[in-house]
Chain A
Amino acid sequence: MMTGRILNFAKSPHQSAQELLPWLVNGTLDDQERTQVEQHLQGCPACRAELDSMQALQSAYADSELVPEADAALARLRPQLQPVGPARRRSADRARLAPFGAASGWMKLAPFGAGPTWIKVALAVQFCLIFALGWQVLRPDQAGLEYHALAAAGGPARAAGNVVVVFDPTAPQRDVAQILRRSDARIVDGPTAANGFVLAVAAGDLRAALERLRAEPQVVLAEPLEAQRTR
Chain B
Amino acid sequence: MRKGQVTEPVPDGRRGADASADEAALLRRIAAGDRLAFETLYRGYFPRLTRFLERVIRSPQMVEEVLNDAMMVVWRKAATFNGQSKVSTWIFAIAYRKALKALKRFDEPLEADEQLFESPGPGPESLLMQRQRFSLLMQQIGRMSPEHRAVIELTCYHGCAYREIAQILGCPVDTVKTRMFHARKRLRQFLSDRKEEI
Interface residues of A (CB under 8 A from B): 2, 4-5, 8, 18-20, 22-23, 26-29, 50, 53-54, 57-58, 60-62, 64-70, 73-74, 76-77, 80-81, 83-85, 87, 211-212, 215-217
Contacts and interface: CB of A to CB of B under 8 A. Distances in A.
Given A28-B13, A53-B188, A68 B162 contact: no
A66 to B, nearest CB: 4
B160 A70 contact: no
5 contacts: A28-B160, A68-B5, A73-B46, A77-B42, A85-B79
For the residues of B in contact with A, the DSSP-based class is: helix
Nearest to A15: B181
A176 to B, nearest CB: 15
B108 to A, nearest CB: 22
Nearest to B154: A26
B178 to A, nearest CB: 8
Contacts of B72: 77, 80
A209 B118 CA distance: 46
Contacts of A67: 2, 5, 7, 46-47, 50-51
Given A4-B166, A4-B173, A27-B14, A70 B46 contact: yes
B4 A66 contact: yes
B128 interface: no
Interface stretch (B18-26, B30-38, B81-89, B91-99): B30-38
B156 A65 contact: no
B11 interface: yes
Chain B interface category by residue count: 35 or more
6 pairs of A and B residues whose beta carbons are closest in the complex: A28-B161, A4-B173, A70-B46, A217-B33, A61-B156, A67-B47
A57 B79 contact: no
Most chain A CB atoms below 10 A, which of B9, B50, B137, B155: B155
B35 A215 contact: yes
A67 B36 CA distance: 22
Given A4-B166, A19-B177, A58 B3 contact: no
A74 B43 contact: yes
Given A57-B156, A70-B42, A217-B32, 10 more contacts: A19-B178, A26-B160, A29-B161, A60-B137, A67-B7, A74-B43, A77-B72, A80-B68, A80-B72, A211-B36
B13 A65 contact: no
A22 B8 CA distance: 21
Given A68-B3, A70-B46, A77-B68, A62 B9 contact: yes
B137 A65 contact: no
A5 B174 CA distance: 11
B42 A74 contact: yes
A66 B134 contact: no
Contacts of B162: 4, 20, 22-23, 28
Nearest to A91: B33
Contacts of A76: 64, 68
A22 B157 CA distance: 11
Contact of A66 (B2, B75, B153, B163): B2
B130 interface: yes
A70 B181 CA distance: 35
Contacts of A87: 32-33
B67 interface: yes
